[in-house]
Structure 1
Amino acid sequence: MAMAFQWVRSLIFMVTIYAWMAVLGLVFAPYALFSKRGALRACKTYARTTIWLARWMVGIRGEVRGNVPTGEVVIAAKHQSFFDIILIFDAIPHGKFIMKRELLWTPIIGMYARRLGCIPVNRGKRGAAVAKMVKDVSKEFTEPGQLVIYPQGTRVAPGVYKPYKVGTAVLYEGLGFPCVPAATNVGVFWPRSGILRKPGHAIVEFLDPIEPGVDRDSFLARLEEVIETRSNALMREVGFNPDAVHQ
């Protein structure tokens, strides 16, 4: 009975946050079309409201730990669900995301992604996509901001292993910015698919930056080690054993 009640709460919550996205998107659209500041304000409002609603409606308490990056950096983040995007975007001053090109054609999301300076990537052309991504990012960084990339390329369920892709290292080399790893356990409570949202303590933690100048192989090995180790620790902190998941 308790699980059924939580599922119903989760359904109402999901309908609410997507309806709220549509309302905010339309209300802010005239402002956002002509001002990046308007787009940023709309998205910040949405993120903060979603964090509040998650705690009130389904019992997910979001927390951001570590030193929040505010300068020009690459943030390489563990990605488990939509909620880690929300927590990171709310925490940093001006987040720009590496995103699937297909999302540019999504109603509301696509327009705001363009206005924020998010960088679309064509997954189907790996080598060309990485080269174009570096070029596009360099062009976009005429304005300060924090570039968020997901080194595994997609959402990964808690305890599941997926190798880290070379794109993050190429960006790190090409931009010459520090890279801030970010770990998370949010997928324990807000999974990458389905309706059910479980009550609990969802955490995103910014880790010590990797300064420019580390060679590609060493950078990728270090990045994967620190993110996976800390993410596993955060999952264990809330009672989830990532080692018990069958790959």
Structure 2
Amino acid sequence: MQWLKSLIFVIYIYAFMAVWGILCFPLLLHPKGARWTCGRYAAHVLWMARVTLGIRSEVRGTAPTGQVVIAAKHQSFLDIMIIYNAVPSAKFIMKRELIYTPFIGQYAWRLGCVPVNRGKRGQAIAKMLADVKKGAAEPGQLVIYSQGTRVAPGDYKPYKIGTAAIYKETGFPCVPAATNVGLLWPRKGILRKPGLAVVEFLDPIPPGVEKSAFMAQLETQVEAKSNELMQELGFDAQSHIASGT
């Protein structure tokens, strides 16, 4: 029964994305309209997950409101929804190819998300900062997934040095963010499991920390807290790694 409900839920949220995106398309004339549209979509997905699948969501720590880099653990689509719903003006670092994705691309562009090409990240960040400074874009919370992709609970992928480069280029504080959502809403497959999905914002890392020290602090804090959050759901990440399962 849970699998069937999960299948219906998955079909629904993507169909609703298309319908909602079309209905609200005129709001793309202004960034605030795009932000409202995406905010209502994220809130609706979280509500539907709770009432149909029993997936409750919770934000812990202090959600940032100023100009910061949020370096987040990424396990599934759910952590994107929770983060977007938690902060006032999220802008995601995204692969440039995604800007051409129907609905997602148009709204991401209007939100001020930063599409980057490999090797041209600095140009994209510089343009974003210049646009904010001259009033052509609004300040916000720049979200980057430091491992570069969704990572299943218990799996390990190295943290990419691009996070340190963006942290240095912006001069913003960096707020690490941990999560356990992959245990309930996996990156692959249909089945969604009931439980408490958490994104926790950790203490900011102030500007000016040297690159290697910054990367070590970021990875240590995010991985430790994510493992702790997953243990609350009965998952022992260390045992998973040791057993190779």
Alignment TM class, shorter chain as reference: over 0.9
Residues 73 and 145, structure 2, Cα contact 8 Å, conserved in 1: yes
Equivalent residue for 1:166, pick from 139, 158, 161: 161
Find the counterpart in structure 2 of residue 239 from structure 1: 234
AA aligned to 2:113 is: C
Task: Name the CA distance, whole Å, in 1 between partners of 2:198 and 2:161.
Answer: 26
Residues 122 and 169, structure 2, Cα contact 8 Å, conserved in 1: no
Find the counterpart in structure 2 of residue 108 from structure 1: 103
Equivalent residue for 1:40, pick from 35, 38, 62: 35
Find the counterpart in structure 2 of residue 7 from structure 1: 3
AA aligned to 1:129 is: K
Equivalent residue for 1:206, pick from 196, 201, 210: 201
Report how many residues are paired.
238
Equivalent residue for 1:175, pick from 170, 173, 187: 170
What is the CA-CA distance between 1:220 and the residue it aligns to?
0.3
Residues 164 and 215, structure 2, Cα contact 8 Å, conserved in 1: yes
Q: TM-score with structure 2 length normalisation? A: 0.94
Task: Name the CA distance, whole Å, in 1 between partners of 2:187 and 2:132.
Answer: 30
Q: Deviations over 1:137-162 (max 9, x none)?
A: 32343321000001101100001111
Find the counterpart in structure 1 of residue 128 from structure 2: 137
What is the CA-CA distance between 1:59 and the residue it aligns to?
1.1
RMSD value, Cα = 1.2
Identity %: 58
Stretches of structure 1 that go unaligned for 5 or more consecutive residues are none
Stretches of structure 2 that go unaligned for 5 or more consecutive residues are none
Find the counterpart in structure 1 of residue 89 from structure 2: 94
Task: Name the CA distance, whole Å, in 2 between partners of 1:164 and 1:140.
Answer: 28
Find the counterpart in structure 2 of residue 63 from structure 1: 58
Query: Which deviates more from structure 2 when the two are superposed, residues 169-178 or residues 77-86?
Result: 169-178
Q: TM-score with structure 1 length normalisation? A: 0.93
Equivalent residue for 2:188, pick from 184, 193, 199: 193
AA aligned to 2:73 is: K
Residues 54 and 60, structure 1, Cα contact 8 Å, conserved in 2: yes
